[in-house]
């Protein structure tokens, strides 16, 4: 009898999920960006959302909830109803390394349903134009000659810029200040342009247009290969910092318990968006690389997320005292 009751409950749950998927969506969907407006995560979210709403037939609202290296915005989604109307966009920092640094009230793996891997790109090492060196070896030498006098922006302790900055200092033997910004990458970029900070470790989505217009200087891309959108920028290997590879990836998640049929519908919509020539062109211009079709499935995002957690675990453990 007990087995029959359980089986009946499963059938009812499946039927409810199928019914909700048939009518989904019937109202606007919100994508939470866990950083301020204007940053790379925000830019990617708006490009993807604009195309997704065409397929879904409902508005998609991009909402910025920043703070605490993205953990406030991600936590907002973790506690949202699992009905497919509140989604989380994030990256290796918000949905992987934050779990190694902060005492989060949610589990970055267990409390979310992966939808799709969106795009990835390496970081650029950039500075204000007034820094008196033009190549990476010269930058490292200048930082060594001026300990603690230069500054680099971050989105707070444990954020991507913060971790990359600390890793860069450890690898190069340099010393400079890490300045946290609560307003996201857009706010700190304004200070870089104004000359109030010296350095920034940032994704190409935000920095490439400024580099190409001559407003900031790029020293290297943190990858084995040069960017197709900016082949003039050397790799870290070519610039004198071999093996300093760091790539950002973005993904889309729903709260844990979201019906599989809704997750599948959202995934199909993302796949359509990533195949759209206009979307591809806009992302390529930002230095973003689209994953192959077989890597756009939910399982691939889950695998990438777990692998990133294990990659950064020993690095973060080595700098843990500095992060508190």
Q: Check residue 155 and give its pLDDT.
A: 80
Nearby residues of 315 by Cβ (< 8 Å), 6 or more positions away: 163, 167
User: What ranges make up the beta strands (E) of the chain?
Assistant: 29-33, 60-64, 86-91, 112-128, 151-154, 177-180, 199-203, 216-221, 247-255
Placement of tokens 């993302």 in the chain = 270
Q: Check residue 212 and give its pLDDT.
A: 94
Bridge-partner residues for 139, per DSSP?
none
Question: What is the Cα–Cα distance from 162 to 158, expressed in whole angstroms?
Answer: 6
Question: What is the Cα–Cα distance from 177 to 191, expressed in whole angstroms?
Answer: 15
Q: Check residue 284 and give its pLDDT.
A: 87
pLDDT along the chain (324 residues), means of 10: 44 49 91 91 95 97 92 97 98 92 95 96 94 98 98 84 91 96 81 96 85 97 89 97 92 98 98 97 86 96 95 78 52
Q: Report yes or no: 49 and 60 within 8 Å, Cβ to Cβ.
A: yes
**291-308 per-position pLDDT tens digit:** 999 999 999 999 999 999
Question: What is the Cα–Cα distance from 74 to 164, expressed in whole angstroms?
Answer: 21
* 101 phi and psi angles, rounded to 5 deg: -120, -50
Nearest-5° Cα angle at 84, 81 to 90: 95
Question: What is the Cα–Cα distance from 197 to 130, expressed in whole angstroms?
Answer: 10
Structure tokens at 275: 């195949």
Q: Check residue 181 and give its pLDDT.
A: 87
Q: Check residue 3 and give its pLDDT.
A: 43
Q: Check residue 322 and give its pLDDT.
A: 56
Placement of tokens 């900031």 in the chain = 216
Q: Check residue 21 and give its pLDDT.
A: 63
**39-89 per-position pLDDT tens digit:** 889 999 999 999 999 999 999 999 999 988 899 999 999 999 999 999 999
User: Which domains occur in the chain, in start order?
Assistant: 28-119+249-323 (3.40.190.150), 122-239 (3.40.190.10)
Q: How far apart are the first and last CA of the chain?
A: 55
Q: Check residue 107 and give its pLDDT.
A: 98
Residue 157 burial by Cβ neighbours in a 10 Å radius (0-12, 13-18, 19+) = middle
Nearest-5° Cα angle at 203, 202 to 208: 100
Structure tokens at 80: 């949202």
Q: Report yes or no: 31 and 63 within 8 Å, Cβ to Cβ.
A: yes
Q: Residue 224 CA to chain centroid, in angstroms? A: 20
Full-model pTM: 0.76
For 198-229, letters b (16+ CB in 10 Å) and e give: bbbbbbbbbbbebbeeeebbbbbbbbeebbeb
């Amino acid at each position: 009898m007990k087995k029959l009751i359980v089986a009946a409950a499963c059938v009812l749950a499946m039927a409810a999920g199928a019914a909700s998927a048939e009518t989904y969506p019937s109202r606007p969907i919100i994508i939470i960006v866990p950083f301020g407006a204007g940053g790379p995560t925000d830019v990617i979210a708006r490009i993807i959302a604009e195309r997704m709403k065409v397929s879904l037939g409902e508005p998609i609202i991009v909402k910025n909830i920043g703070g605490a290296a993205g953990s406030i915005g991600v936590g907002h989604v973790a506690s949202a109803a699992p009905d497919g109307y509140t989604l989380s966009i994030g990256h290796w920092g918000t949905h992987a390394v934050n779990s190694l640094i902060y005492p989060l009230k949610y589990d970055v793996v267990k409390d979310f349903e992966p939808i799709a891997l969106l795009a990835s790109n390496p970081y650029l090492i950039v500075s204000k134009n007034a820094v008196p060196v033009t190549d990476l070896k010269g930058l490292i030498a200048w930082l060594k000659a001026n300990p603690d006098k230069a500054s680099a922006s971050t989105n707070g302790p444990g954020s991507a810029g913060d971790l990359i900055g600390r890793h860069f200092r450890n690898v190069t033997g340099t010393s400079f200040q890490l300045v946290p910004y609560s307003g996201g990458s857009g706010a700190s970029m304004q200070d870089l342009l104004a000359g109030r900070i010296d350095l920034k470790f940032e994704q190409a989505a935000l920095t490439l247009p400024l580099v190409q217009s001559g407003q900031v200087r790029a020293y290297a891309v943190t990858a084995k290969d040069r960017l197709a959108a900016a082949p003039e920028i050397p790799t870290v290997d070519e610039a004198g910092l071999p093996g300093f590879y760091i790539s950002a990836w973005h993904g889309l998640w729903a709260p844990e318990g979201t019906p599989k049929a809704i997750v599948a519908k959202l995934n199909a919509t993302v796949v359509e968006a990533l195949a759209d020539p206009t979307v591809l062109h806009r992302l390529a211009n930002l230095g973003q690389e689209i994953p192959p079709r077989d890597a756009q499935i939910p399982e691939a995002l889950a695998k990438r997320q777990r692998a990133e957690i294990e990659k950064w675990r020993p690095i973060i453990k080595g700098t843990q005292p500095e992060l508190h």
